[in-house]
Amino acid sequence: MSSGTIVLGAGMVGVSVAWHLARRGQDVTLVDRRAPGRETSFGNAGIIQREAVRPYPFPRDLATLWRVLPNRQVDIRYRPGGMLEAAGPLWQYWKHSAPDRYRRIVPEYASLIERCLDAHGAMIEAAGAESLVRREGWLEVYRHRSALQARLAEAEENAERFGVRYRALDAEALAAMEPSLGNDVNDGLAGAIHWLDPWTVADPGALVSAYAEAFEREGGRIVRSEVETLSTGAGGWQVGIGSETLSAESVVLALGPWSRRWLSRLGVSLPLFPKRGYHMHYASRGEARLHHWVMDAEVGYLLAPMRAGIRLTTGAELERLEAPPHLDQLAAAEASARRLYPLGERLDAEPWKGARPCTPDMKPVIGPVDGQAGLWCAFGHGHQGFTLGPATGQLLAQMMAGETPAIDMRPFRVDRF
C-alpha cells in the first residue's frame, strides 16, 4: 500500500498545501511542469488582500452591463469563444450573484479571507522572506466623489462586520502620499481608500519560491515534470510523469484552472472557468516615484512598484484557457495608466498572460472528492489564490489529518455543485 501525498501544482495554493502537510511529518512530493511560483502565482498584483471580504459578483445592474457590452473596458473583456465554452458556469455565476444568494456567500468567503495574514505570517517567518513583504496597505483611487462615497459606505460595513481597517483620503491627503499621481487626469482625483491591513509583495513569484524552499527544508520533494496520467487502484494513486510513475496514498489537485481537466478524466464534473489577465512592467519617467500599490478603481487596473519595475495588471478577460493572448485590454489599461502616472518605457519583451480559476459561486473548492478515496481538491480561488493559498493549505492539512478544521468547510465542499 502506498503512503504519503502527491500535490499537483506548485503555485501559491499547491506549495502552501505541501508545506503544511510536510510540517505535519508527511512524506510529500510536489509536482509541476514549471518551477514553483512561475505560473499564475508569478503574475498577480502581489497583494495579500485582508480587505477583500467580498468576492467579485457577476454584474447584474443594467448600467454596468450596458457599459461592458461594447467590449472596450479595462476591467472586463470577453471573447465569443470563451463565453460559449463557459456558458453553463457563467449562467450559474450570474444566478449566484443575485442579491439574496450573494449575501449568503459573503460571510462564507470572508471566513477564509480573515485567516490570510496569520497564515501567510507563519510561512513568511519559516521561509525567511520578510524582505519581500511590506505591511503598509494599498490605495484604491477614485476619480469621482460619488464613486468614492459609495465605496466608503461599503468599507464601513466591512469594518463593522469583518474587522477590515481603512482610512479615507481626500485629494490633498492622496497627493501627499503619492505626489506623482493624477497630473494628467482631466478633473483631478477625488481621493482614495487606504486599506490598512493588507500586505504587499515586491516579487510574488519569489515569495512562492521561498515557500517552496521552506517546504524542501521540511523534507519535501519537488519534481518538475508534466503530469501525463492520473489513476487509482488497490495500491493507491499513481501519477505518470514521463518514464517515472509516482505512487502515494493521497493526491491533492492544486492545478488551478487545469484541475477541471483532470477531474473530468476521473468522471468528476465541476463548473470551473478561467478569468485571464495580463501584466507588463514599466520604468518611471523622470523623477516620478510610486510609493504604494495603486488601483485605478473606476477604470480597473492596478499599478505596483515591483522589483522588476512598475507592474501594470489588467482586469479580467473571459476567454478559453489556452487561447492566444489578446493584447488590446492591456493596451487600453496602459493608455489610461499613462494619464494617471508618468510611466516610462516597457521593460518586458512580451506581456505576461495568466488565468485565474473561478467557480460560479465565487468560493474555492477545498476538500475530498466523493467516491475517489484519497483525492483532495484545492483550487478555484478566483482573484485571491495568492491571498488564500496558506490558509487553504492549513485548513486542508487539518481535514486530511482527520481533525476538525478551524472554520466550517462545508461551503467549500466539492459536491456543492
CA gap 306, 289 in Å, rounded:
12
Kindly give, in sequence order, each residue whose CB lies less than 8 Å from that of residue 65, ignoring residues fewer than 6 positions away: 59
d(CA 42, CA 324): 19
Statement: the pTM of the whole predicted model exceeds 0.95:
yes
- Write out the three cell numbers for 411: 461551503
Q: Across residues 241-267, what is the average pLDDT?
A: 95
- Which 8-state DSSP code applies to residue 207? H
CB 266 within 8 A of CB 367: no
Task: Characterize the bridge pairing of strands 28-32 and 5-8.
Answer: parallel
Check whether 265 has a pLDDT greater than 80: yes
Question: What's the CATH architecture for 1-57+97-132+202-272+359-417?
Answer: 3-Layer(bba) Sandwich (3.50)
- C-alpha cell recorded at residue 164: 477590515
With CA atoms as reference, report the closest residue to 330 among 343, 345, 317.
317
The answer to whether the beta carbons of residues 97 and 89 sit under 8 Å apart is: no
pLDDT for position 183: 67
d(CA 267, CA 80): 27
173-228 pLDDT tens trace: 999 999 999 866 656 899 999 999 999 999 999 999 999 999 999 999 999 999 99
Instruction: Kindly report, residue by residue over 401-412, the tens digit of the pLDDT.
Output: 999 999 999 999
- pLDDT over threshold 60, residue 271: yes
Q: Is the pLDDT of residue 344 over 80?
A: yes
Domain residue ranges of the chain, discontinuous segments joined by +: 1-57+97-132+202-272+359-417
- Section 1-29 average pLDDT: 94
pLDDT in tens, 49-95: 999 999 999 998 888 888 988 898 999 999 999 999 999 999 999 99
pLDDT tens digits, one per residue of 282-330: 999 999 999 999 999 999 999 999 999 999 999 999 999 999 999 999 9
